[in-house]
Amino acid sequence: MSKDKPSIPKGTRDFGPATVVKRNHIFSVIKRTFEKFGFLPLETPAMENLSVLTGKYGDEGDQLIFKILNSGDFLSKVTAPDLEAGYKPLTRRIAEKALRYDLTVPFARYVVMNRNEIAFPFKRYQIQPVWRADRPQRGRYREFYQCDADVVGTNSLLCEAEIILMMDEVLSTLGLDDFTIKFNHRGLLAGMAEVIGANGREADLCVAIDKLDKVGQEAVNEELRQKGITEEAITQLQPILGLTGNVVDLLPQLDRLMVGSEEGQRGVQDIRQMLTFLESFQLRNAKIELDVTLARGLSYYTGCIFEVKVNNVQMGSISGGGRYDNLTGMFGLPGVSGVGFSFGVDRIFDVLEELNLFPQESQTITQVLIANFDEVSMRYALPVLQQLRAADISTELYPDSTKLKKQMAYADQKQIPYVVLIGSEEMASGLLNLRNMRTGEQQSLSLEQILQTLSPNATA
């Protein structure tokens, strides 16, 4: 047995109680919102067949998939030429399984495998960890949770409108009051390329435009030039990139600009339809913004795309998504359109921490510690303990009769808000001593009164 100081793999994390409790607060708001909107939970295995994952994330993605060594004698069917062929071909010989890299591919696999049992449109959410062999760095982990919700099997733009509603509800419920949901449409990006005479070059345009925020318009133009976009096209692009204002003003301008592009027209119409739906709803805190330079997931999104930024906080997008026309085509089932989005829990966690938005209640698990003076007081405490728990109050009795100071330190460290003290006086009178650990205040109360004070069902 190794007596070395143990450690955890780079890029992974232990979540101690205080952190789990805060993360669960985020998860439960997300989960509750997804369910309120009619999404049902799905869970897929951590391990997928490697063949299911390979080729879905590009060459770079394939390299970042964690492969699982075949169990038993993985060399038994490996030949000398296999060993000499290099690590990539050898990988397929000795590793048949891999850890999931995202939740989208497993979802597509699930839909294809269960297409005869599923009620379409299928609204599912999935909150599970994924694994990527990325180089660990600040804010980037090798194991992290994704929180996805997708609808497949309908083209209705109600789904897009509801994505905006869910983003608004989750983030508002978590206490954020200044964030912007940016959206754009793949058709507008294609149309933009078309109308400036750079047909089909939207990928290059977008890669460059994506840096607009960071490097400024001049640097973007320079990149476009280097990519062989004509000077004329770049000139024509400028007014489009310069479009600002609220969506009501923007849409007619875009409509005119895109008059020569079918794709562009599709984008304008989809956005108009989505906004029509949104008009019937009230948003709580979200600002919405049509950003014609927003480009993400170009290789798979085909309709609306979304991204959420918290204003006045240094942090990348905390949520995003879009519509894709062909989720399950990779598994031989074409024509299944869907739209989905996800929340970045690690980033939301950091934002809530920075803005001090985790509610105190959500951080308390154990409500009461009963101090343990001696055997007699301990025996007296046992039925008290049971009655507090029966009233749904999380309670523990310190298991050893040790120094009170140590027990109080324990309550402090565990952030237990109340300590019940039962000494000889208390046993004689039946009035127990309830100490509020935050204020230091102590009260002599009957068990009845304590139950009333602390019960989660009591009216405060």
The SS3 of residue 240 is: helix
Is 443 annotated to bind a ligand? Reply is no
- Of 389-428, binders to a second copy (CB under 8 A) are 389, 392-397, 399-400, 409-410, 413-414
Q: Which residue lies nearer to a second copy by CB, 167 or 189?
A: 167
100 binds a second copy (CB under 8 A): no
146 is in an annotated binding site: yes
Site string for a second copy, 133-172 (x = CB under 8 A): x--------xx-------x--xxx-xx-----x-------
Count of residues binding a second copy (CB under 8 A)? 110
Structure tokens belonging to residue 361? 């209640």
Q: Which residues pair with 368 in a beta bridge?
A: 395, 418
Residues 245-304 that bind a second copy (CB under 8 A): 277, 280-282
Residue 180 within binding range of a second copy, rule CB under 8 A:
no
Applying CB under 8 A, does 361 fall inside the site for a second copy?
A: no
Q: Any bridge partners for residue 342, and if so which?
A: 148, 320
Residues 46-75 that bind a second copy (CB under 8 A): 46-49, 51-52, 54-56, 63-64, 66-69, 71-75
Nearer to a second copy, 42 or 290 (CB): 42
DSSP of 115-144: TTT--SSEEEEEEEEEE--PPPBTTB-SEE
Closer to a second copy at the Cβ: 47 or 215?
47
For the four alpha carbons of 26, 27, 28 and 29, in that order, the dihedral sign comes to positive
- Site for a second copy contains 362 (CB under 8 A): no
Please report, for residues 47, 69, 78, 93, the alpha-carbon distance to residue 73 in angstroms, rounded to integers and kept in the order given: 19, 10, 10, 12
Annotated binding-site residue? 92: no
Contact present, 194 and 222 (Cβ < 8 Å) = no
Q: How far does Cα 295 stand from its chain's mean position?
A: 20
State which residue, 282 or 312, has the beta carbon closest to a second copy.
Answer: 282
Cβ atoms 131, 88 nearer than 8 A: no
Burial class of residue 202 in the structure, from the number of CB atoms within 10 Å of its CB (0-12 exposed, 13-18 middle, 19+ buried): buried
Place of tokens 């000499």: 84
150 annotated ligand binder = yes
Q: What sign has the CA pseudo-torsion 56, 57, 60, 62?
A: negative
Q: Please state the closest distance from residue 197 (CB atom) to a second copy, in A.
A: 33
Of residues 37 and 346, the one with the C-beta less far from a second copy: 37
Residue 296 is assigned to a ligand binding site: yes
Q: At its nearest, how many Å lie between a second copy and the CB of residue 264? A: 25
- From the annotation, which residues make up the binding site for L-histidine? 102-104, 132, 146, 150, 296, 300-301
